[in-house]
């Protein structure tokens, strides 16, 4: 690195490390992030380019559903969901005043995450935490309505290949390698839960997730007044487990339940060995977060 660039890179590193998202990331990996972060100047009224932006000075208004949704100031990160989702979006980031940011483009961001699992796992944790915050703002947690007709047969799930096939159908594991699916299938435990038995209570630690094979789970939250039900094919608790946050709802078997249980440690171990699947999973979660953010924006617009 040329000597003249070194102080600027150190300043960028310090700014990035101040973010809670990156507080536990190793300095070597943060240095890679800082090297790819480029100063961007945006005049009042201009729109920030596509990418992930750390606001250094100024103020940015996030437009969703064609209307102002959130105002972001210094030390806020904007554009992250769209940059990670790699999908078209009508979200606009308009500078409310002259603004300076540190910007990482989409292609650079993917390269950074692919080569640095510590940064990627921090991104997974941050996106999952954002999903939790958004779900708490939406009726039914923003989940699709439970379809009682949808059912996955639990037959022969003690066989590894059957578990692997079941995991292949999971939406949070798009295009995963067969080796990764096999690893997760070996780590997953098959559980049978009687009707009305509690899976977990609101506020308990979240160390694992369950994938419903047969039966249903009734979910309620005291804090937000949520009530919803999840059935065959659904995964519960993954967001909290990845975010390392407590359970946000009370989960009870609404019928005799058959499920596969996976620990957070098993998921992260599998993802660390398969960067492509880890990136695809992060992209999937970012799309969920962006979609939920749109739902919150539309709900806010209706109430205003």
In b/e form, how buried is each residue of 104-126, taking b as 16+ CB within 10 angstroms? bbbebbbebbeebbebbbbbbbb
Query: Higher model confidence: residue 289 or residue 171?
Result: 289
User: How far is 173 from 291, CA to CA, in rounded Å?
Assistant: 18
* Per-residue pLDDT, 211: 93
Structure tokens given for 87: 């999908």
Residue 149 pLDDT more than 50? no
Query: Higher model confidence: residue 239 or residue 165?
Result: 239
Residue 182 pLDDT more than 90? yes
Q: Give residue for tokens 């909290």.
A: 240
* Per-residue pLDDT, 153: 58
Residue 184 pLDDT more than 60? yes
Q: Give residue for tokens 């009687």.
A: 194
11-25, 66-80, 83-97: least confidently modelled range: 11-25
- pLDDT tens for residues 239-257? 999 999 999 999 999 989 9
Structure tokens given for 73: 């100031």
What's the gap between Cα 27 and its chain centre? 23
- For the chain, the average pLDDT equals 86
- Give the domains, in start order, of the chain with CATH numbers: 3-115 (2.60.120.10), 142-273 (2.60.120.10)
**pLDDT interval class at 301 (50, 70, 90):** low
Structure tokens given for 201: 């209570």
Residue 1 pLDDT more than 60? no
Interhelix angle 264-272/117-135, nearest 10 degrees: 140
């Amino acid at each position: 690195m040329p000597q003249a660039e070194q102080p600027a890179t150190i300043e960028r590193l310090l700014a990035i490390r101040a973010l809670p998202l990156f507080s536990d990331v190793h300095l070597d990996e943060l240095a890679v992030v800082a090297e790819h972060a480029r100063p961007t100047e945006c005049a009042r009224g201009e729109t920030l380019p596509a990418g992930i932006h750390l606001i250094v000075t100024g103020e940015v208004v996030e437009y969703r559903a064609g209307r102002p949704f959130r105002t972001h100031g210094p030390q806020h990160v904007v554009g992250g969901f769209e940059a990670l989702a790699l999908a078209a979006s009508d979200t606009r980031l308009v500078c409310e005043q002259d603004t300076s940011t540190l910007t990482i483009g989409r292609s650079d961001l993917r390269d950074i995450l692919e080569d640095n699992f510590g940064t990627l796992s921090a991104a997974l944790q941050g996106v999952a935490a954002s999903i939790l915050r958004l779900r708490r703002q939406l009726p039914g947690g923003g989940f699709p309505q439970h379809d009682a007709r949808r059912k996955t047969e639990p037959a022969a799930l003690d066989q590894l290949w059957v578990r692997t096939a079941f995991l292949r159908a999971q939406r949070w594991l798009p295009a995963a390698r067969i080796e990764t699916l096999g690893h997760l299938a070996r780590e997953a435990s098959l559980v049978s839960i009687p009707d009305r038995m509690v899976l977990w209570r609101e506020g308990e630690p979240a160390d694992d997730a369950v994938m419903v094979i047969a039966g249903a789970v009734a979910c309620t939250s005291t804090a937000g007044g949520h009530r919803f039900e999840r059935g065959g094919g659904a995964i519960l608790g993954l967001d909290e487990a990845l975010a390392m946050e407590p359970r946000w709802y009370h989960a009870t078997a609404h019928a005799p339940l058959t499920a596969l249980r996976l620990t957070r440690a098993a998921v992260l171990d599998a993802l660390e060995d398969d960067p492509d699947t880890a990136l695809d999973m992060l992209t999937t979660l970012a799309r969920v977060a962006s979609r939920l953010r749109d739902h919150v924006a539309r709900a806010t617009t209706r109430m205003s």
